Amino acid sequence: MTIAPERPTARPAAEQAPPAGPERRRATGGARATDVYAVLGAAAAALALTWLLFARLLPFSGTVGFVLVAYALFLGLYALLVSFDEDGPAVRDRVAGVVVRTLGLVLLAVLVFVVAFTLWEGRRALVHLNFFTEDMSLAGPLEPLDTGGVLHAVVGTLEQVGIALVLTVPAGVVCAVFLNEVPGAFARLVRTIVEAMTALPSIVAGLFVYATVILALGMERSGLAAALALSVMMLPIIIRASDVVIRLVPGTLREASYAMGASRWRTVWHVVLPTARSGLTTAVILGTARGVGETSPVLLTAGFTAELNALPTSGAQVSLPLATFELVKSPEPNMIARGFGTAAVLMLLVLLLFVLARIAGGRGPGQLTRRQERRRTAASRADAARFAPAPARTAPPAPPRSTP
Amino acid sequence: MTTETTDTTAPPGAPDPRPDGPPDTPRRLYADPGPADRVFRGVARTGGGLVLAVMLLVGGFLLHRAWQALDRAGGSFLTTENWEPDAGRFGIAAVLTGTVLIALVAIVVAVPLATGAALYISEYAPPRLRRTLISTVDLMAAVPSVVYGLWGVFWLEESILPIARWISAYLGWIPFLRVEGADPDDPLAPPTVYTSSTFVAGLVVAMMVAPIICSIMREVFSQAPAGEREGAYALGATRWGMIRSVVLPFGKGGMIGGTMLGLGRALGETIAVYMVISQVFTIQWHVLQTGTSSVSSLIALRYGEATAFGMSALMAAGFALFVMTLIVNFAASSIVARSRSGASSDA
C-alpha cells in the first residue's frame, strides 16, 4: 500500500529509456541469463560447501550422503540467490520448478537405466547367433555361450500367448460389445464383476489353473495350462480396455445408423466395430504386452524344460520370462548372461508390440488411412454407377463426389 | 412386420370404423427387431454371460477351496505368523504385514517421483520432447516385472547398501528404521543384515509401479482446462502458483486413484519380489532389516510341495490378497469416477 504512490514517479524515467523506433517482439519464454547464473552459482556453492563439510568439518562420509547434502544445500542456496532480486511467489516458483524437474529426470533416468542395464548385461549372449536358433538341451551350466539358446522359450511364448489370444480376444470383444450395446442390469453386473477381476493377482490366476486343470483334472503341466492361466489374467484387462474404446465411439454415428433403419447388429458390425478398430487393436496389443511379460501364472502351470517343445498340449513348455527367471538362479556367469539375454529378447518383443500398438492406435475413431480412403472412394463410385439410371450406364463413370 | 396389432384392415391414420367398440387403451410400443437382431442379442448376452461365468467360477472356486482352510483355522488365520498348514499352525499375519509394508515402501517412493515426472511432462517439458517422454513412460509401464527383478537382484541390492547403512546409522532412532545386529561404526561389519530387505523389495516394486502411476497422473494433469490455467496466469500467478491452484486441485481425484491403482499392482506383484526377498515367517517391522515376506511369493515358494490341505491354505492366502487388492481397486475407481477429472480418465 505504501509503495503504490511512489510507482508513478519512477515509471516515466524507465519508459523514456528505450529509443523510439519500430517495436520489436520480445521473447517471453526461455531462461534469462540471471536464471542460468543463479543455477550455476548455487550448484558451485553447494558442491564447495558440501566438500568443506565432508572433508574438513564434520565426520560425515559416503557418496550417498554427499549427494543428498549437496542437493539440499543447492536448493537452499538457489532460493537465497533468487530471493535477492525476486519476491516470495517467484522464489517458490523457481524452487518448485527445480524440484519437479529433478524428480522427473530421476524417474526417467532410473527407468531408462533399468532397460539399458538388462541390454548391457545381456550383450555377451546376444552377439551369438546360436542364441536365437538353438535350445538349451545341449548346453550345460558350464558350456560357453556359443552353444545353446532360447529358441524353445521364444516358441513357448509365441504359442502360449497365441492360444491365450485366440481364447480371450473373441470373448473379450463380444463381452465389451455386450456391455455397450445391450445395456441393462445384467450388463452392469457383468461390468462390476469384470472390474473386480482386474484386481486378481496374477499368481492367484496361476494358482487357480494349477488347482483345477492340473490337480483336479489331472492334466500335466503344459503350454496349454499356461495359456489358460494367461487367459484368466488377460481377459479382464482386454475387456476393460475394449469397453473404454467402444464407449468412445461417437453416439451420433450410432444414431445416424439407426435413423437410416439399420438393425442393431448391422450398426455394430458396420459402424461401431470399424470405427473402434484401431482402438481395439491397441487394447489387444497392450493386453498382449502385459501377458507376454507375466511370469507368475506360467511359473505354476508350464513346468520347466531345456528342450524345444512345440506341442503345447503335452509336456513342459518354457516361456521367455520363465526362462529368464530360471536361468539367473544359476550361479554360473554364463547362465546369468543367458538370463539377461533372454530378458533382452523379451523386452525387444514387448517393444515391438508397443510400436505396433502406436502404429495401429495413432488415429482416433473414424479417421482413415490413405488406403482406406481410396477404397471408400472407389466403393462409392461403384455404388453411384450402380444407382445411376440405365441409359447413363454407357456414359463415363459418375463424378467422384456424387456420394460420400 | 409387427403382428401384434389387431386391426389390420384399416389403413393407418384412418378414423376408427367402430366408434362403439371398446375404448382406446395406450398401446405397448414394441418394435420387432427381427431374427438377425435377436440372434445378435443372444450372442452378445451369451458372451457376457460366459465371461461372467468364468469370472464367478474363478472367484467361487477360490473361495470354496479356501473355505476348507479358513474353517479349520478360524480367527487364528489372521493372527498366526507361521506357515505350517499340515501341522495346523498357519496364518497370514506375517505375510500380509510383509506385503503391505513392501507396497507402502513402494508407494512412498513411487508417488513423489511419479508426481514430479507427470508434472514435468505435462507442464515443464519442451513440447518437442513431450511426445517422446510420454511414449517412454508408457513403454516402461509395459516392461515385464522379471526385468525389474533382474535389476533389483543384480544391481540395486549391492548399490543400495550404503544408503541403507546411512539411513540406519543416522535415522536408526526411528523404531521401524532400526536394524538389529548392525554396527554402523564398524566399517567392516558384514552387510548381510541389510540385504533382501523390505526396503530393497519396495524400491524394486516402486520402480515398477511408478510409470503406471505417472501415466495416469499425466493424463489427468493434461486435461486441466486451459481457460482456468490462463485465468490463473492472468491474475498474475507464477507457473508453480498456477499448478498449485489449478492443475493439482483439478487432478486430485486422478492422483489418488492412480496411487491406489499402483498400490493394487504393488500388493499383487510376485516375481520381482520373490527374486529379491528372503522369506521369513515372522512379522518384520524393521524395513531395512534382511528378511521379509509377501503373500504372492509365499504361494510361488510353497505351491509345489503343498498337500491338498496345504493347497487349500495357499488358496486362502491368495483369496485374502485378492480381497485386499479388490478393496483398494474399487476405492480407487470410485474416487476417480467422483472427481471432476475422472469421467474421461480411465486407468
Residue A316, Cα to own-chain centre: how many angstroms? 31
Q: What is the ipTM of this complex?
A: 0.78
Q: Is A387 on the interface with B (CB under 8 A)?
A: no
What gap in Å lies between CA A243 and CA A178, rounded to an integer?
Answer: 9
What is the tens place of the pLDDT at every residue in B48-58?
888 888 888 88
pLDDT for the residue numbered B262: 86
| C-alpha radius of gyration, chain A, whole number | 32
* SS3 of residue B89 by DSSP: strand
The values of phi and psi at residue A294, to 5°, are -75, 130
Tell me whether residue B26 is in a domain.
no
pLDDT for the residue numbered B117: 92
- In this complex, the residue of A117, A198, A354 whose CB is nearest that of residue B151 is A117
pLDDT for the residue numbered B116: 92
What gap in Å lies between CA A376 and CA A374, rounded to an integer?
Answer: 5
Identify all chain B residues contacting A99, using CB atoms and an 8 Å cutoff.
116
What gap in Å lies between CA A288 and CA A282, rounded to an integer?
Answer: 10
Identify all chain A residues contacting B102, using CB atoms and an 8 Å cutoff.
none
Taking CA–CA distances from A107, the nearest residue in chain B reads B113
**Is A208 in contact with B207 (Cβ distance < 8 A)?**
no
Are A322 and A153 a contacting pair, CB within 8 Å?
Answer: yes
Identify all chain B residues contacting A167, using CB atoms and an 8 Å cutoff.
none
Q: Which of A398-402, B244-248, B257-261, B296-300 shows the lowest per-residue confidence on average (mean pLDDT)?
A: A398-402
| Residue A357 banded pLDDT, cuts 50, 70, 90 | confident
| Residue A11 banded pLDDT, cuts 50, 70, 90 | very low
Given a cut of 50, whether residue A402 has pLDDT beyond it is: no
Q: Which of A117-121, A186-190, A209-213, A279-283 shows the lowest per-residue confidence on average (mean pLDDT)?
A: A279-283
Chain A: give the shortest CA distance to residue B40, in Å. Answer: 6
Given a cut of 70, whether residue B19 has pLDDT beyond it is: no
Q: Average pLDDT for residues A36-54, to the nearest whole number?
A: 85
- Mean pLDDT (chain A) is 80
Show the cell assigned to B36. Answer: 438377425
- In this complex, the residue of A100, A189, A264 whose CB is nearest that of residue B33 is A264
Chain A: give the shortest CA distance to residue B10, in Å. Answer: 25
DSSP A350-377: HHHHHHHHHHHTSS-TT---HHHHHHHH
Tell me what percent of the residues of chain B surpass a pLDDT of 70. Answer: 87
**Is B318 in contact with A203 (Cβ distance < 8 A)?**
yes
Q: If contacts are CB pairs under 8 Å, which of residues 38-57 in chain A contact chain B?
A: none
Taking CA–CA distances from B132, the nearest residue in chain A reads A108
What gap in Å lies between CA B237 and CA B17, rounded to an integer?
Answer: 77
Are A321 and A154 a contacting pair, CB within 8 Å?
Answer: no
**Is B271 in contact with A92 (Cβ distance < 8 A)?**
no
Given a cut of 50, whether residue B346 has pLDDT beyond it is: no
What gap in Å lies between CA B163 and CA B199, rounded to an integer?
Answer: 11
What gap in Å lies between CA B72 and CA B43, rounded to an integer?
Answer: 43
Chains A–B, number of C-beta pairs less than 8 Å apart: 278
- In this complex, the residue of B142, B300, B319 whose CB is nearest that of residue A296 is B300
Chain A: give the shortest CA distance to residue B101, in Å. Answer: 17
**Is A104 in contact with B124 (Cβ distance < 8 A)?**
yes
Tell me whether residue B176 is in a domain.
yes
- In this complex, the residue of A210, A263, A296 whose CB is nearest that of residue B270 is A296
What is the tens place of the pLDDT at every residue in A81-113?
888 887 888 888 888 888 998 898 888 888 888
Instruction: Let me know the angle formed at the C-alpha of A367 by A365 and A373, rounded to the nearest 5 degrees.
Output: 140
Tell me whether residue B64 is in a domain.
no
Tell me whether residue B220 is in a domain.
yes
Q: Which of A135-139, A243-247, A353-357, B77-81 shows the lowest per-residue confidence on average (mean pLDDT)?
A: A135-139
Closest CA to A81 of A140, A126, A41, A131: A41
Chain A: give the shortest CA distance to residue B94, in Å. Answer: 19
The single-letter code of the amino acid at A212 is T
As a dihedral over the C-alpha atoms of residue B313, residue B317, residue B320, residue B325, rounded to 10 degrees, the angle is: -150
What gap in Å lies between CA B111 and CA B104, rounded to an integer?
Answer: 10
Chain A: give the shortest CA distance to residue B69, in Å. Answer: 15
Identify all chain A residues contacting B210, using CB atoms and an 8 Å cutoff.
107, 111
**Which residue, among B68, B113, B150, B170, would best test binding to A if mutated, counting the most A CBs under 10 Å from its CB?**
B150
Chain B: give the shortest CA distance to residue A388, in Å. Answer: 30
Q: Which of A69-73, A304-308, B115-119, B141-145 shows the lowest per-residue confidence on average (mean pLDDT)?
A: A304-308
Tell me whether residue B86 is in a domain.
yes
Given a cut of 70, whether residue B345 has pLDDT beyond it is: no
pLDDT for the residue numbered B253: 81
What gap in Å lies between CA B287 and CA B205, rounded to an integer?
Answer: 14
Q: Average pLDDT for residues A325-335, to the nearest whole number?
A: 82
More confident residue, A54 or B312: B312
What gap in Å lies between CA A359 and CA A344, rounded to an integer?
Answer: 22
DSSP code of residue B346: -
pLDDT for the residue numbered A12: 47
What is the tens place of the pLDDT at every residue in B108-156?
999 999 999 999 998 888 888 888 888 888 888 888 888 888 888 888 8
**Which residue, among A92, A168, A200, would best test binding to B if mutated, counting the most B CBs under 10 Å from its CB?**
A200
- In this complex, the residue of B59, B62, B270 whose CB is nearest that of residue A202 is B270
Which run of H or of E encompasses B210?
helix B198-222
Are A230 and A291 a contacting pair, CB within 8 Å?
Answer: yes
Range of the domain at B262: 81-338
Closest CA to A108 of B87, B134, B234, B74: B134
**Is B147 in contact with A118 (Cβ distance < 8 A)?**
yes
Given a cut of 50, whether residue B79 has pLDDT beyond it is: yes
What gap in Å lies between CA B321 and CA B315, rounded to an integer?
Answer: 10
- In this complex, the residue of A264, A328, A347 whose CB is nearest that of residue B40 is A264
Ordered domains of chain A (ranges, CATH): 33-118 (no CATH), 151-366 (1.10.3720.10)
More confident residue, A259 or A335: A259
Q: Which of A210-219, A322-331, B331-340 shows the lowest per-residue confidence on average (mean pLDDT)?
A: B331-340
Identify all chain B residues contacting A354, using CB atoms and an 8 Å cutoff.
138-139, 142
More confident residue, A396 or B145: B145
Identify all chain A residues contacting B185, using CB atoms and an 8 Å cutoff.
none
What gap in Å lies between CA A345 and CA A128, rounded to an integer?
Answer: 13
Given a cut of 80, whether residue B250 has pLDDT beyond it is: yes
As a dihedral over the C-alpha atoms of residue B282, residue B285, residue B286, residue B289, rounded to 10 degrees, the angle is: 20
Given a cut of 70, whether residue A197 has pLDDT beyond it is: yes
**Is A114 in contact with B151 (Cβ distance < 8 A)?**
yes
**Is A201 in contact with B318 (Cβ distance < 8 A)?**
yes
DSSP code of residue A324: H
Chain B: give the shortest CA distance to residue A81, in Å. Answer: 18
| Residue B268 banded pLDDT, cuts 50, 70, 90 | confident
Q: If contacts are CB pairs under 8 Å, which of residues 223-242 in chain A contact chain B?
A: 232, 235-236, 239-240
More confident residue, A370 or B203: B203
Length of chain A: 404
What gap in Å lies between CA B258 and CA B116, rounded to an integer?
Answer: 14
Instruction: Let me know the angle formed at the C-alpha of A147 by A145 and A153, rounded to the nearest 5 degrees.
Output: 95
Q: If contacts are CB pairs under 8 Å, which of residues 132-161 in chain A contact chain B?
A: none
Q: If contacts are CB pairs under 8 Å, which of residues 321-380 in chain A contact chain B?
A: 321, 324-325, 328, 336, 339-340, 343, 346-347, 350-351, 353-354, 358
CA distances from B118 to A75, A244, B157, B245 (A): 21, 22, 27, 17
Tell me whether residue B156 is in a domain.
yes
pLDDT for the residue numbered B3: 44
- pTM of the entire structure? 0.79
What gap in Å lies between CA A135 and CA A148, rounded to an integer?
Answer: 5
Show the cell assigned to B346. Answer: 480411465
Q: Is A214 on the interface with B (CB under 8 A)?
A: no
pLDDT for the residue numbered B12: 52
Chain A: give the shortest CA distance to residue B130, in Å. Answer: 12
Are B172 and B178 a contacting pair, CB within 8 Å?
Answer: yes
Q: Is A102 on the interface with B (CB under 8 A)?
A: yes
Q: Which residues of B101-132 are buried (b: 16+ CB within 10 A; e: fewer)?
A: bbbbbbbebbbebbbbbbbbbbbbbeeeebee
Q: How many domains does chain B have?
A: 1
Q: Is A78 on the interface with B (CB under 8 A)?
A: no
pLDDT for the residue numbered B111: 92
Residue A383, Cα to own-chain centre: how many angstroms? 42
Number of H helices, E strands in chain A: 18, 0
Residue B320's CATH number: 1.10.3720.10
Given a cut of 70, whether residue A1 has pLDDT beyond it is: no
**Is B240 in contact with A104 (Cβ distance < 8 A)?**
no
**Is A211 in contact with B211 (Cβ distance < 8 A)?**
no
CA distances from B334 to A317, B77, B258, B344, B346 (A): 41, 30, 12, 13, 11
**Is A107 in contact with B210 (Cβ distance < 8 A)?**
yes
| Residue A390 banded pLDDT, cuts 50, 70, 90 | low
pLDDT for the residue numbered B181: 66
What gap in Å lies between CA A323 and CA A338, rounded to an integer?
Answer: 9
More confident residue, B303 or A173: A173
| C-alpha radius of gyration, chain B, whole number | 29
Q: How many C-beta atoms surround the C-beta of residue B287 within 10 A?
A: 23
pLDDT for the residue numbered A331: 80
SS (H, E, C) B119-161: HHHHHHCCHHHHHHHHHHHHHHHCCCHHHHHHHHHHHHHHHCH
What is the tens place of the pLDDT at every residue in B221-246?
888 888 888 999 999 888 899 999 88
Tell me whether residue B37 is in a domain.
no
| Residue B10 banded pLDDT, cuts 50, 70, 90 | very low
Q: Is A253 on the interface with B (CB under 8 A)?
A: no
pLDDT for the residue numbered A29: 64
pLDDT for the residue numbered A8: 44
Tell me whether residue B231 is in a domain.
yes
What gap in Å lies between CA A357 and CA A371, rounded to an integer?
Answer: 19
What gap in Å lies between CA A289 and CA A294, rounded to an integer?
Answer: 9
Beta bridge partners of B89: B84
What gap in Å lies between CA A312 and CA A131, rounded to an integer?
Answer: 22
